[in-house]
Amino acid sequence: MKNLILTCFLFILSLNAAAFPDLLPVDQAFQVSAEPLNKEQVRVTWKIADGYYLYRKKIDLSSKHPEIQVPSVDKLKLPTSELKTDANFGEMEVYHQGFTLDIPITRSAKAQQALELELETKYQGCADAGLCYPPQKKSFKLQLAALENGLAVPTQNNQENKLSDASANVSESTNPDDAKPKLIKPLAADADPAVEPLPIEQAFKYNLIAVDQKTLVAHWDIQPDHQLYRSRISFSIQGQENFHLDPPLFPTGELVKDDYYGSLEVYTKSLDVSIPIRQTDPA
């Protein structure tokens, strides 16, 4: 019975295709392209042939890079659509004219360098003559430039430029009573004792990113057999009197028994700490 139903379905499809011999191939009816606009924005363009239309609700975008996010289509500013009573789906919003979407992207602390973004698009359309195409999926590999100084900050006005300056002057610090920084324990408890600790700048690669006007993110790449003490990490801001840091938001670390300090919370892998930042009015 299943084979019979499948055979009948294929036969109906063949009849439909034969009834519309002048239909364009789907890639000619709907031509989609993508390109990077800048380090934090990409553009997707659809060209729609005369006599064809795209369903608005069938358009979707997604990032295949684990450290880059794109907003859902519902959060983008799409052009005004038309209402069409569709034979297949009822009343639907459609596009008969081509259009372009400029899409902001969000790059995590691990995606500040030059890299490749694989952007996937999904869409479905029909011909006015009455035949609909299957859902389509296209992927584009886009080359994104590195973010300057690791700061993902818009620069549209002077206030945002000041935020960039402020984030550049936020520094990690340790207890000022310590003569020597103790952010690190030389080796993790289960480390090979024959392994020598790395210099601090190699063991803990530090980067600071301004995510938006109210949030900074401090990121560390922690090398194997090394760990950061949560209690020894603090932040301060210098040279920007109108900016202030609120208490940072730390992820949950691991509890270990330390030879020097007893039971402590530590980080042994990559670490992201969110730091709220606020601006006060000049005196």
pLDDT tens-place string over residues 6-55:
433 333 343 444 445 578 999 999 999 999 999 999 999 999 999 999 99
In this predicted structure, what is the pLDDT of residue 153? 39
Structural domain includes residue 233:
yes
Residues 30 and 141 in one domain: yes
* Number of domains observed in the structure of the chain: 2
Query: What average pLDDT score do residues 118-145 get?
Result: 93
Is 13 inside a domain boundary? no
> Is residue 74 domain-shared with residue 113, that is, in the same domain?
yes
267: confidence class by pLDDT, cuts 50, 70, 90: confident
225: left (phi over 0), alpha (psi -120 to 50) or beta: left
> Which position has the higher pLDDT, 152 or 110?
110
Any domain includes 17: no
Are 101 and 157 part of one and the same domain? no
Return the CATH number at 226.
2.60.40.1250
Residue 11 lies in a domain: no
Q: Measured between alpha carbons, how far is 137 from 124 in angstroms, rounded to an integer?
A: 9
Q: Are 45 and 33 in contact (CB under 8 A)?
A: yes
The answer to whether residue 34 sits within a structural domain is yes
User: Final residue of a domain: which of 146, 170, 202?
Assistant: 146
Same domain (yes/no): 89, 197: no
Are 224 and 115 contained in the same domain?
no
Residue at a domain's end among 109, 128, 146 = 146
* Residues 142 and 228 placed together within one structural domain of the fold: no
- pLDDT per position as a tens digit, 141-179: 999 998 864 444 333 444 444 455 554 455 555 443 443
> What is the phi/psi pair of residue 193, to 5°?
-65, -20
* Domain match, 154 and 275 both: yes
Residue 112 structural domain: 22-146
The pLDDT of residue 148: 67
Q: Is residue 134 part of a domain?
A: yes
